[in-house]
């Protein structure tokens, strides 16, 4: 069995958990496949729960890390130009706020070095990345990267070899970890006493208010809001002292934590807590209607796409992000509905999307072919992509935007 069903909350260990969203059974979204391997594809439940005690929103069905993050892990952050820009300015913030020459920065889940590449030269950097092929891409950029999962033991080894870190970052990875206690302990071990832990994750408030149900997939075990995170760090003698909303992946939060210091917190922390309270994120009621909202999006998308196909129109998809696969599989789309999906990631091209088995092709095809309709799966880059594809749109292609509401542009 490569998944387990938990019965306890990942943060507070309480058992008063309410299921509010069920998306069916899905294959892991970054396991792009090919004809020879379709038979071996496995599916696991994708159900989302709310903890009444600490208010963490989470998955309880946990697929093993080995099955999710492996040799052929298909996500290379630097494939998306706007994301590279984001990490460039993130690195500037870290330099300005915390870093001095020769300080050590350790990035957990460093992917292809998207953040650290902007810090080399300013300070010492070290990446930790479990997917060997992705770690190799970072090394090619000259970023020292350890293959493996971050643990207390690894943190001790790093301290022995490089000393303690002034800054530890974990972006789009802190929500991916089942044993959060181990990670927070390891971060504590690794940080200097005045060190800072900075972590970006997609934000529950954006997920709920913009109906970003497709950001639910097995890699994302937690859907964070500020309140449960404060509770988590508190348990380890740490404190959240600043929170910023950032405009990536459909809306994220950057959370700053440190060992308890007695120093004042940025007013942003109290403001965000209040915002979450007002939005209903601290009780189950707000979540109870979410399934209906999500089912409605599916209904609209399915009737649009199948309707166009019936009229003889060509429909394709744009971008094969992880979340796109949740959307495709939830809607039950296959290559009979969407002829192909274009993606800029070289490692995805030539493969089939997991579950839906739609061929991934190079975006170059759109210089010679003009589909009638293109389902924008990478909707988080909407403005960037609509602008980039102006010529295609002038030739008559229309984009179907699925999130936050179905729209044709």
What residue ranges bind Zn ion (CB under 5 A)? Answer: 9, 11-12, 14, 51, 53-54, 56
The number of residues that bind ligand TMP (CB under 6 A) is 21
- Backbone φ and ψ for 171, nearest 5 degrees, come out as -115, 125
Query: Smallest distance from the beta carbon of 307 to ligand TMP, in angstroms?
Result: 25
Which range in 10-18, 251-259, 261-269, 316-324 contacts ligand TMP by CB under 6 A? 316-324
- Rounding to the nearest 10 degrees, give the CA dihedral for residues 367, 368, 373, 375: -50
Sign of CA dihedral 294, 295, 300, 304: positive
**CB of 79 vs ligand TMP, minimal distance in Å:** 4
Spatial distance between the Cα atoms of 361 and 242, rounded to a whole number of angstroms: 42
Are 186 and 167 in contact by the 8 Å Cβ rule? The answer is no
Q: Report in angstroms the alpha-carbon separations of 274 from 230, 269, 358.
A: 13, 9, 43
Site string for ligand TMP, 221-250 (x = CB under 6 A): ----------------------------x-
Q: Quick check: 381 binds ligand TMP (CB under 6 A)?
A: yes
Residue number with CB closer to ligand TMP (115 or 126): 115
Identify which of 86, 17, 25 has the alpha carbon closest to the alpha carbon of residue 287.
17
Are the CB atoms for 145 and 84 separated by under 8 Å?
no
For the bound state, the minimum distance from the C-beta of residue 238 to ligand TMP, rounded and expressed in Å, comes to 29
Residue closest to 78 by CA, chosen among 91, 93, 88, 67: 88
**Nearer to Zn ion among residue 10 and residue 26 (C-beta):** 10
Q: Which among 267, 331, 271, 284 is positioned nearest to 305, based on CA atoms?
A: 331
Distance CA 352, CA 324 (A): 13
Beta carbons of 253 and 384 less than 8 angstroms apart: no
Q: Which one of 78, 266, 344, 362 is in contact with ligand TMP (CB under 6 A)?
A: 344
Contact status: 316 vs ligand TMP (CB under 6 A): no
Identify which of residues 180 and 320 has a Cβ nearer to ligand TMP in the complex: 320
Using DSSP bridges, classify how beta strands 222-223 and 145-147 pair: parallel, antiparallel or unpaired.
unpaired
Judged by beta carbon, residue 103 or residue 212, the one nearer ligand TMP is 212
CB of 348 to ligand TMP, least distance (A): 6
Question: Dihedrals φ, ψ of 359, to 5°?
Answer: -65, 135
SS3 343: coil
Q: What's the rounded Cα separation, in Å, for the pair 215 and 68? A: 15
**Binding-site member from 345, 347, 353, 356 for ligand TMP (CB under 6 A):** 345
Binder among 28, 321, 371, 402 for ligand TMP (CB under 6 A): 321
We find the least distance from the C-beta atom of residue 321 to ligand TMP, in angstroms, to be 3
Q: Please identify, using beta-carbon distances, which residue of 31 and 268 lies nearer to ligand TMP.
A: 31
Binding partner of 343, given Zn ion, ligand TMP, none, CB within 5-8 angstroms per partner class? ligand TMP
Q: Is 380 in the site for ligand TMP (CB under 6 A)?
A: yes
Q: Tell me whether strands 44-51 and 57-59 are parallel, antiparallel or unpaired.
A: antiparallel
Q: Which does 256 bind (CB under 5 to 8 A by kind): Zn ion, ligand TMP, none?
A: none
Residues 70-109 that bind ligand TMP (CB under 6 A): 79-83
* Rounded alpha-carbon distances, angstroms, from residue 261 to 163, 238, 264, 288, 399: 21, 8, 8, 39, 50
Q: Which is nearer to ligand TMP, 127 or 250 (CB)?
A: 250
Least CB distance to ligand TMP at residue 312 (A): 26
Q: Which of 11, 138, 378, 397 binds ligand TMP (CB under 6 A)?
A: 378
Which of ligand TMP, Zn ion, none does 404 bind, CB closer than 5 to 8 A by kind?
none
We find the least distance from the C-beta atom of residue 82 to ligand TMP, in angstroms, to be 6
Nearby residues of 395 by Cβ (< 8 Å), 6 or more positions away: 370
- List the single partner that 33 binds among Zn ion, ligand TMP, none, CB under 5 to 8 Å by kind: none
Residue whose entry in the numeric block shows the structure tokens 């995805």: 348
The answer to whether the CB of 246 falls within 8 A of the CB of 207 is no
Judged by the rule CB under 6 A, the positions of this chain that interact with ligand TMP are: 79-83, 249, 319-322, 342-345, 363, 378, 380-381, 384-385, 388
């Amino acid at each position: 069995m490569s998944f387990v069903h938990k019965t306890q909350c990942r943060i507070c260990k309480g058992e008063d958990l309410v299921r509010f969203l069920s998306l069916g059974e899905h294959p892991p979204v970054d396991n792009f496949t090919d004809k020879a391997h379709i038979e071996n594809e496995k599916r696991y439940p994708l159900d989302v729960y709310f903890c009444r005690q600490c208010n963490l929103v989470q998955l309880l069905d946990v697929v093993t890390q080995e099955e999710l993050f492996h040799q052929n892990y298909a996500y290379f952050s630097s494939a998306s130009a706007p994301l590279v820009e984001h990490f460039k300015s993130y690195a500037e913030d870290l330099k300005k706020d915390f870093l001095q020459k020769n300080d050590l920065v350790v990035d957990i889940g460093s992917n292809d070095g998207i953040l650290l590449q902007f810090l080399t030269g300013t300070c010492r950097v070290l990446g930790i990345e479990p997917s060997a092929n992705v770690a190799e891409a970072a090394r090619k950029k000259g970023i020292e990267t350890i293959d493996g999962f971050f643990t207390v033991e690894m943190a001790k080894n790093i301290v022995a070899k490089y000393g303690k870190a002034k800054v530890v970052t974990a972006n789009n990875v802190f929500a991916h970890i089942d044993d959060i206690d181990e990670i927070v302990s390891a971060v504590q071990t690794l940080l200097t006493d005045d060190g800072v832990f900075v972590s970006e994750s997609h934000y529950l408030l954006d997920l709920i208010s913009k109906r970003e149900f497709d950001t639910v997939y097995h890699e994302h075990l937690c859907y964070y809001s500020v309140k449960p995170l404060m509770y988590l760090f508190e348990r380890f003698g740490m404190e959240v002292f600043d929170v910023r909303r950032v405009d990536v992946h459909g809306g994220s939060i950057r959370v700053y934590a440190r060992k308890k210091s007695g120093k004042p917190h940025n007013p942003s922390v109290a403001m965000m807590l209040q915002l979450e309270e007002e939005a209903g994120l601290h009780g189950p009621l707000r979540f109870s209607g979410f399934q209906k909202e999500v089912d409605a999006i599916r209904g609209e998308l399915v009737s649009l796409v199948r309707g166009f196909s019936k009229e003889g129109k060509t429909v394709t998809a744009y971008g094969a992000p992880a979340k796109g696969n949740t959307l495709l599989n939830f809607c039950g789309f296959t290559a009979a509905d969407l002829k192909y999906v274009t993606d800029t990631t070289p490692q995805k091209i030539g493969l089939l999307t997991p579950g839906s088995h739609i061929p991934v092709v190079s975006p170059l095809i759109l210089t010679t072919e003009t589909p009638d309709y293109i389902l924008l799966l990478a909707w988080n880059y909407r403005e960037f992509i609509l602008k980039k594809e102006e010529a295609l749109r002038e030739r008559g292609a229309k984009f179907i935007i699925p999130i936050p509401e179905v729209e044709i542009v």
